[in-house]
Structure 1
């Protein structure tokens, strides 16, 4: 297991599922002989509901999250250079973006099984404003592994509305100053709508890119599957030919074995007959030897009788 990838998965679990999953993975790491990984996993703290919602937002809306980080960089630069006009312009954009991200966060949380109340929504929005104000907070938020919501930076120019105003997100009041004021108000609304439209276009573009990537992956899988089928067909043909050869060899060997068995039976029969003949010849040999000894004894007796009579 890789610590970063495991942590990424853990922080996307619902908060009530986090601790049991973390402890189970740490125990597996110990059994696998990796105590350092187990220690790092045990050090991870269960996210609060607001932190979990922020993590969902980072992981599931990367384009919008990146837009918030970029906007924070612009706001901080305008603050450093005391560019009032730029601050006002970016302030209008940040209100539209924070409102959009807040709605997205609520929707993602509800899809994952948690309704977001007003207190949690305030913590989420305060985290978004902290990302705008503090580069360290932006870097921490972008990991998608918050355990606690982030605190805002009091007095930062980008935090124009108060928390209650941000949560309620009321419509902008009618601009003062007659026609000129109306044009200014229309400009503010146009900027907010343009920001929302840009993000919607980015989301649609990301959706199309994902579809193209999925289609490419599916095509590659189909091509690989077709190649696997061809390779299997080639192997099947080769194995079938080998099986046919083996069956022919088996039949030839069977015939040869039958022939050799018949020859062996005939040889055994001849051997049996020869053994009987040997027995008979030996019997006759013994009879001939007895007759020879008797004849020799008779001849010797006759010779002795002749010698006596002389």
Structure 2
């Protein structure tokens, strides 16, 4: 037993099971005489829900985790080089990947019997952003032994500016009618932009709703799977016990028949005993009477 093996085992557990399993490992190390290892194990901290969900994601989705780490390297390089075009290209991938992985983490925790809230999912997504921004954070995430969620360092952008535009040439003074038309056009564009922002908000709300419903669906499907397994086991048990039940019913019927016959024999024997008792009593009285008559004649 070594610390890495124990840590991998413990951080694969749900937070509710962590402390008891850790204490058990501490006792085992002490019993083996390795007090240093026992102390190292004792210092392992129980993960928060967000940290556990991130660890579970790393363990269950290694390919996606590797994709995240590679994207982080590319983003950090583009940020260092001030490569705006590359930054804008990778920005969309960043948001899509972290959102998708955070949603997958919620599904995995639901399948493991522990649903997480939107706030916890956001902490998972923040942790993934931190892995994109900081190589040291990426290493911690890849280990799968987080005890708390991470945050991206200040100064690392989660969105990137558009390329600078050339200044517009100065225009001659416009007539009042043309100015009015321009103002109306600007108003329409502003209203369109407001409608677009509202539509984007509706999309975000719909995505959150979809996320919640998918999490509920995963939990219900897991509950259904367990119920069907339990039903299958019960049906197998019934099939296994059916022959025994039939034998038991036949034994019961035979025992009932035997008991009924024994009851009938007991009743007949009791009647015969009463009759014999009566005859014995009458015979004894008759014998006494004859004895008395014989004495008088003598």
Shift of 1:155: 3.0
Aligned to 1:144: 144
Contact 2:56 2:144 in 1 (8 A): yes
Note the 1:41-120 alignment, pairs <5 A.
41-120=41-120
**Alignment partners' CA distance in 2, 1:125 and 1:96:** 11
Q: Distance in 2 between matches of 1:111 and 1:6?
A: 24
- How many pairs align? 162
CA–CA separation in structure 2 for the residues paired with 1:103 and 1:121: 7
> Which residue of structure 2 lines up, in the alignment, with residue 288 of structure 1?
none
Q: Secondary structure at the match of 2:33?
A: coil
Unaligned stretches of 5+ residues in structure 1: 162-175, 178-310
Partner Cα distance (1:16, 1:96) in 2 = 31
Deviations 1:202-261 (A, max 9, x none): xxxxxxxxxxxxxxxxxxxxxxxxxxxxxxxxxxxxxxxxxxxxxxxxxxxxxxxxxxxx
Give the match for residue 296 of structure 2: none
Once residues 150 and 64 of structure 2 are traced to their aligned partners in structure 1, the CA distance between those partners, rounded to angstroms, is 18
Shift of 1:151: 1.4
Displacement after TM superposition at 1:36 (Å): 1.5
Q: Which residue of 2 aligns with 1:215?
A: none
> Which structure: larger Rg?
1
CA deviation vs aligned residue, 1:82-131 (integer Å, no higher than 9, x gap):
10000000101111111210111011110111111011011111101000
Aligned match of 1:304: none
TM normalised by structure 1 equals: 0.51
Aligned to 1:134: 134
Q: State the SS of the aligned residue for 1:160.
A: coil
Aligned ranges for residues 1-310 of structure 1 at < 5 Å?
1-157=1-157, 159-160=158-159
Alpha-carbon offset, residue 37 of structure 1: 1.2
Q: Deviation above 3 Å: which 4+ runs of structure 1? A: none
2:130–2:150 contact (8 Å) kept in structure 1: yes
Cα distance in 2, alignment partners of residues 86 and 2 from structure 1: 44
